[in-house]
Amino acid sequence: MTECRVKECRVKDRKTAILEAAARVIAHHGVRGLRVEELAAEAGVSKALVYYHFGDRAGLLRHTLRFIGDRAERYTGGGPPGPPGTPGPPRAPKDAALELERRLLLELRDTPEVRENSTAWGELRASAVFEPELREELARAGRQWVREIADLLGRIDPSPPDAALVGAAERLTVLLEGLSTRWLIGVLPVGHASELMRGAIAAEVEALRLREPRQACAVA
């Protein structure tokens, strides 16, 4: 089904081309602005082919959500989709704390790839309020993303119970989504968003450390 045999991998099957175009169009005009005709033109195929492959508009959105999630999974160099992001250093697992910060800040860089992935993901997430068929995929991606962040937190400080790690991870990932949204809206400069993210990481890590208060002042 795919013709990808040459080094450059330029020849894609049209189904994939449609999904890539969908991500691009959604990032530029939103889910509401997604016209099947425009999408087809962008992908270089006919309108009818879109319906052939995805049934209807809703099916297209569902597949696009999954596609974006999978793409981010490869891009972040790790497990999760989530509010997807983009390339980054080929994964050098130095200190867990640094890796955690790297992972979370990966989604807050003003590059075309991050913008496109994050904008499209944010749009689809917002649509999910009214399109229940998107929820399962969102929930799945969210869980995976939380799990990964929780594991990184656990590598920084293994003492807290898993529930506490997961709670912190949930807060950090949800905050990231919120920051990303504000950034993309244009009411929050991306640098400020990163700074806030760093602050939250620090606060959460500190809070995890303070779970055993006796220990807190022992060193002092």
Partner DNA sequence: GTCTATAATACGATAGAC
Partner DNA sequence: GTCTATCGTATTATAGAC
Binding site for a copy of itself (CB under 8 A): 29-33, 119, 122-123, 125-130, 132, 135, 138-139, 142, 167-168, 170-171, 174-175, 177-179, 181-182, 184-187, 195-196, 199-200, 202-204, 206-207, 210, 216-217, 220
Residue 110 interacts with DNA (CB under 7 A): yes or no = no
Phi, psi of 23 (to 5 degrees): -60, -45
| Residue 49 interaction partner, one of DNA, a copy of itself, none, beta carbon < 5-8 Å per kind | DNA
User: Quick one: 45 or 208, whose CB is closer to DNA?
Assistant: 45
Minimum separation from the CB atom of position 98 to a copy of itself (A) = 20
CB 138 within 8 A of CB 40: no
CB 22 within 8 A of CB 34: yes
Minimum separation from the CB atom of position 146 to a copy of itself (A) = 11
Terminus-to-terminus CA distance in the chain, angstroms?
Answer: 65
Which DSSP string corresponds to 44-102? TS-HHHHHHHHSSHHHHHHHHHHHHHHHHHHHTTSS--SS-----SS-----HHHHHHH
Minimum separation from the CB atom of position 126 to a copy of itself (A) = 4
Minimum separation from the CB atom of position 1 to DNA (A) = 6
Question: Which residues, 45 to 104, sit near DNA by CB under 7 A?
Answer: 45-49, 51-53, 56-57
User: Quick one: 6 or 217, whose CB is closer to a copy of itself?
Assistant: 217
| Residue 56 interaction partner, one of a copy of itself, DNA, none, beta carbon < 5-8 Å per kind | DNA
Helix (H) or strand (E) run with residue 28 in it: helix 14-29
Minimum separation from the CB atom of position 202 to a copy of itself (A) = 7
Question: Which residues, 16 to 55, sit near DNA by CB under 7 A?
Answer: 34-37, 44-49, 51-53
Which DSSP string corresponds to 101-116? HHHHHTTS--SHHHHH
**CA–CA distance, 201 with 14 (Å, rounded to integer):** 42
Tell me the angle at which helices 14-29 and 57-75 cross, rounded to the nearest 10 degrees. Answer: 90
Residue 215 interacts with DNA (CB under 7 A): yes or no = no
CB 145 within 8 A of CB 80: yes
Residues that bind DNA (CB under 7 A): 1, 13-15, 34-37, 44-49, 51-53, 56-57
